Structure 1
Amino acid sequence: MNAIDGYLGDLDARLHGPSSAKTDLLTEARDGLTDAAEAYRAGGFDEAEAERRAVADFGPADLIARDYQAELGLRRDIRVLWELIVGVPLLILGWDFARGFGDWSRLGAPPSWYHRAIGAADTLAALSPVVAVAGLLAARLLSRRATGPVAARAVSWSLAGAVGLNLLAVATYGGATGFLEPARLIVSVPCAVLSATWILFSMRLTVAARSWRTTA
């Protein structure tokens, strides 16, 4: 195994994340190392020495892996943010549409505290994609002005906030409705489907956000 392949193998073993994104980063690294080695060969060094010098110039694998890992995390977080930005508003609109298929008159009028709780949940649900959009804007700005780890950290916190707000909204919806009358969640088939879909979607977002933290 030559010096470049050995270095890339070490780098690959240190990285965790989507395979396509890892492949892109490693391909960029290989191209840079190959170009540097060719320059050294043109300067009169033999192939082995040229590759060794190219690897040395590129930097220690542990330091490069740290920056690459931050980039992988940034890409993963941005993808999850987009899922939340699109998914949560669609679920809100879907639930409002599904309400029209239920016979709410048989359930009776809810108390005033329930309206306040649902209003609070609506606000939390609406804020979730807003925070996600702020995270994307932060990613764009910080990627130009700061190092990879700094931008990744900012987006990571935005993702945690957006996912947390969505989870709190779902918990408030379900908790208030379950306490008052669970039948309201399944007053019609569309309502039951939307309730289950929102819960599963929220779980998926949470797992996607946490899975990166456990591999970082």
Structure 2
Amino acid sequence: MISTQTSPITAYVYAVRRSLHGPRRARIDLIEELTDGLRDAAEAHRQAGLTRVDAEQRAVAESGTVAEVAAAIQPELIAKQGRRTAMLLALGMPGLVLLWDVPWKIGGPWSTATPPATLLLSDIVTWIGLSVGVVGLLAVLGLSLGARLSIPTAVVTRSLGVLGAAALAFTMVASVGMGFANPAEAMGAFMSSWIGLSVMTATLLAVPALTFSVVRSIKVVPS
């Protein structure tokens, strides 16, 4: 709660911060820039003879409404979130594909005759992972040049979120399907090996990070 004794600038900045959505560090940096600018403006008004409260109120009024300021800042947060998600997809999706493919290519106690259904799902997941990785890489480049190329950052960011969410959902469902399709002894041997445990640990770390980022890319763009 904001106290009734809170300064006009503090109350105003608090309201703007609550209206913003995007990467936490970026929000903090932008809010600090806004606060510094308001305090500089208020100091100039104080030197002109206004009281502290009046000077802050004048600085706030000159800055615009909370909605106007939030609307001006939000696009930068959208772009930052889009670049973050694009980078994670560019690295994470192909990375997960390779992470799971390599142990089966190398072979081990888990290597048995692979059912046709597993081979089909594996091929689909591989193509999805690599394709999303390429799209993510292109999006990184596009969003980095967004202003010069007039790229609709909000559209790209939301599209990355939807694409990434769909790809992750299918990959997870397909992975479960492959697990059931493979012989139980093969999966047991793999999951009890140090390679299997390492792959699972890395997956459990990567998937939540990817999921969080793609969901935020959808939510960060105003409806």
Determine if contact 1:80/1:209 at 8 Å carries over to the other structure.
yes
Q: Which one of the candidate residues 165, 173, 176 is aligned to 1:174?
A: 176
Q: Say whether residues 1:125 and 2:129 are aligned partners.
A: yes
Q: Secondary structure at the match of 1:46?
A: coil
Percent of residue pairs bearing the same amino acid type? 25
**1:16 offset after TM fit, Å?**
4.5
Give the TM-score, by structure 2 length: 0.73
2:68 to 63, 87, 91: 63
Q: Which moved more, 1:71-80 or 1:7-16?
A: 71-80
Stretches of structure 1 lacking an aligned partner (at least 5 in a row): none
* Cα 1:64/1:186, change in 2 over 3 Å: farther
Whole-Å Cα distance in 2 between the matches of residues 65 and 123 of structure 1? 40
Match of 1:155 in 2: 157
Structure 1 or 2: more helix by fraction: 1
Mapped pair 1:209 → 2:214: yes
Aligned to 1:110: 115
Indicate how the Cα distance of structure 1 residues 101 and 25 shifts in structure 2: closer, same or farther if over 3 A, else same.
same
Deviation sequence 1:181-214 (CA, Å, 0-9, x none)? 3554444222354256436633442234325656
2: CA distance between counterparts of 1:186 and 1:80? 34
Contact conserved, 2:82 with 2:143, CA < 8 A, in 1?
no
In the superposition, relative to structure 1, how do residues 109 and 96 fare at CA in structure 2: closer, same or farther (>3 Å)?
Answer: closer
The whole-number CA distance in structure 1 between the counterparts of 2:77 and 2:187 is: 39
CA RMSD in angstroms, aligned pairs only: 3.3
| Alpha-carbon offset, residue 46 of structure 1 | 1.5
* Counterpart position of 1:82: 87
1:133-152 deviations in whole A, cap 9, x for unaligned? Answer: 233233223345669xx523
- Give the number of equivalent residue pairs: 211
**How many angstroms apart in 1 are the aligned matches of 2:179 and 2:153?**
39
Q: Distance in 2 between matches of 1:192 and 1:34?
A: 54
The answer to whether the 8 A contact 1:127-1:165 is kept is no
